[in-house]
Amino acid sequence: MSTAPNWEKLRADFPILNQKVHGRPLIYFDNAATSQKPRAVIDALVHYYEHDNANVHRGIHELSNRSTMAFEAARARAAKFINANSADEIVFVRGTTEGINLVASSWGTKNLKSGDVILLTEMEHHSNLVPWQMLAQKTGAKIAYIPITGDEGVLDLSKLDSLLASQVKLLAMVHISNSLGTVNPVVELCARARKLGIVTLVDGAQSAGHRPVDVQAIGCDFFAFSGHKICGPTGIGVLWGRPEILDAMPPYQGGGEMILSVGYDKTEFKDAPHRFEAGTPDISGPIGLHAAMDYLDAIGRENIWRHDQELAHYTYEKLSALKNIRLFGPKLNSKDRAGLVSFLLKDVHAHDVVTLADQAGVALRGGHHCTQPLMHKLGVESTARASFYFYNAKDEVDRFVEVVKEIQKFFGQ
């Protein structure tokens, strides 16, 4: 769809948005934590359980065939969603977190040794940080960080050449920061790493559902995202891996479904991606995710991106006109700002902002956003965050800004 979508009409696809919270119309600005689900996704889940539910890859009966076909169709759809070459490059996981843990545990344990370096950025979510720390402890590898530039929160690439030293084996980075809204130059960074033979992983939790994603154009080796942040169900996500790397990786977990044959002494494993999917998988998850991907692509992710950015710029501009406010992330109208704005009111804890906003029907998030090291770097404990999706509108931002002003007044500012 290249013409501008009818956003108001699309909003009506989300039953949950049509409610009052504490007597006020709900304004849902916590989309970076999880998105809401359109009727099409809810219906796909209900249809599956009412008509097709059976275990996959096992039975020969009709329901099992239908279930398997729907499960594998979702894998092919996920490949198309991120422009992978083949469905075999798609591993179903619980979410971004599990995707990264899988890579750390399987690829990392096999390929890293003492003295190797894992290069991250200072803005990583804990899920792209803790698995690497655990791997470093196990292997003796070290972790280094690409720094950020203070409150503006963009990567400082001035020392990249020296950071990309010969011991670096892996560069893992977030595509869009959930705390700052920064869009990182992943294409450039992957190209620089690739020239040096460094494997790259992109955390796409905040990007996959908000802008077009093409893993081949990004040039990474791994890309992970979560279904629940892109209008799909919780408990399902995707890990994409370059096939030659996936094929050489040992299994992550053992059990049913991932084997070719098992003896008392020895097991032969299936090829990727099935080798990484032990046990009965989440079956309804991929089916709901399939519906979500169809839904988003019917709107057009380039349209969603434009809409998200417009709301973020509008919000940033309105908030920056207030006194006693500190704003984080790329400056006004930066093309590198995604659809979220993090802020702090002077002498007011972020949790107080969020609690008072909730009383006014506005759902925000306050806390460290699973980026504690980043918060320490910025010299704060937490921020308040408004994060948008295509069903949000400017009049909601206007109301939100009024609520922020009321909170400031409450605190005598």
In the complex with ligand PLP, the residue whose CB is nearer, 183 or 403, is 183
In the complex with ligand PLP, the residue whose CB is nearer, 174 or 403, is 174
CB atoms under 10 Å from CB of 310, counted, come to: 14
Candidate segments 14-22, 94-102, 162-170, 389-397, binder of ligand PLP by CB under 6 A: 94-102
Question: Exactly one of 35, 68, 96, 342 binds ligand PLP (CB under 6 A); which one?
Answer: 96
Residue 174 as a binder of ligand PLP (CB under 6 A): the answer is yes
Question: Exactly one of 97, 101, 105, 387 binds ligand PLP (CB under 6 A); which one?
Answer: 97
Residue 95 as a binder of ligand PLP (CB under 6 A): the answer is yes
List phi, psi (to 5°) of 207.
Answer: -105, -40
- List the interface residues with ligand PLP, window 120-139 (CB under 6 A): 125, 127-128
Residue 90 as a binder of ligand PLP (CB under 6 A): the answer is no
Whether residue 226 contacts residue 176, with contact meaning beta carbons closer than 8 Å, is answered with no
CB of 371 to ligand PLP, least distance (A): 8
Q: Is the dihedral of CA 154, 177, 14, 29 positive or negative?
A: negative
Written as one letter, the residue type at 361 is G
Q: For the sheet containing 325-328, what is the strand order?
A: 325-328, 340-345, 383-387, 365-367
CB of 331 to ligand PLP, least distance (A): 21
Bridge partners (DSSP) listed for residue 200: 171
In the complex with ligand PLP, the residue whose CB is nearer, 125 or 274, is 125
Q: How many CA atoms lie within 13 A of 221 on its CB side?
A: 22
CB of 364 to ligand PLP, least distance (A): 15
DSSP 382: -
In the complex with ligand PLP, the residue whose CB is nearer, 135 or 360, is 135
Per DSSP, the three-state class of 267 is strand
The pair of three-digit structure tokens given for residue 372, joined into one six-digit string: 């504690």
In the complex with ligand PLP, the residue whose CB is nearer, 52 or 305, is 305
- List the interface residues with ligand PLP, window 4-33 (CB under 6 A): 32
**Of 169, 96, 157, nearest to 130 (Cα)?**
96
Residue 383 as a binder of ligand PLP (CB under 6 A): the answer is no
Whether residue 259 contacts residue 113, with contact meaning beta carbons closer than 8 Å, is answered with no
In the complex with ligand PLP, the residue whose CB is nearer, 224 or 287, is 224
Site track for ligand PLP across 242-271, x = CB under 6 A? ------------------------------
**Of 401, 184, 391, nearest to 299 (Cα)?**
391
**Of 1, 2, 7, 4, nearest to 392 (Cα)?**
7
Q: How many CA atoms lie within 13 A of 172 on its CB side?
A: 29
- List the interface residues with ligand PLP, window 178-207 (CB under 6 A): 178, 203, 205-206
Whether residue 330 contacts residue 87, with contact meaning beta carbons closer than 8 Å, is answered with no
Query: How many chain residues are in contact with ligand PLP, going by CB under 6 A?
Result: 13
Is 231 catalytic? The answer is no
Residue 288 as a binder of ligand PLP (CB under 6 A): the answer is no
CB of 24 to ligand PLP, least distance (A): 26
Whether residue 382 contacts residue 351, with contact meaning beta carbons closer than 8 Å, is answered with yes
39 vs 62: CA distance, rounded Å: 27
Q: Which helix H or strand E contains 67, and what residues bound it? A: helix 62-81
28 vs 387: CA distance, rounded Å: 9
The one catalytic residue in 190, 220, 231, 370 is 370
CB of 206 to ligand PLP, least distance (A): 5
CB atoms under 10 Å from CB of 268, counted, come to: 9
CB of 51 to ligand PLP, least distance (A): 28
- List the interface residues with ligand PLP, window 59-78 (CB under 6 A): none
- List the interface residues with ligand PLP, window 30-59 (CB under 6 A): 32
Binding site for ligand PLP (CB under 6 A): 32, 95-97, 125, 127-128, 174, 178, 203, 205-206, 226
Task: Catalogue the active-site residues.
Answer: 370
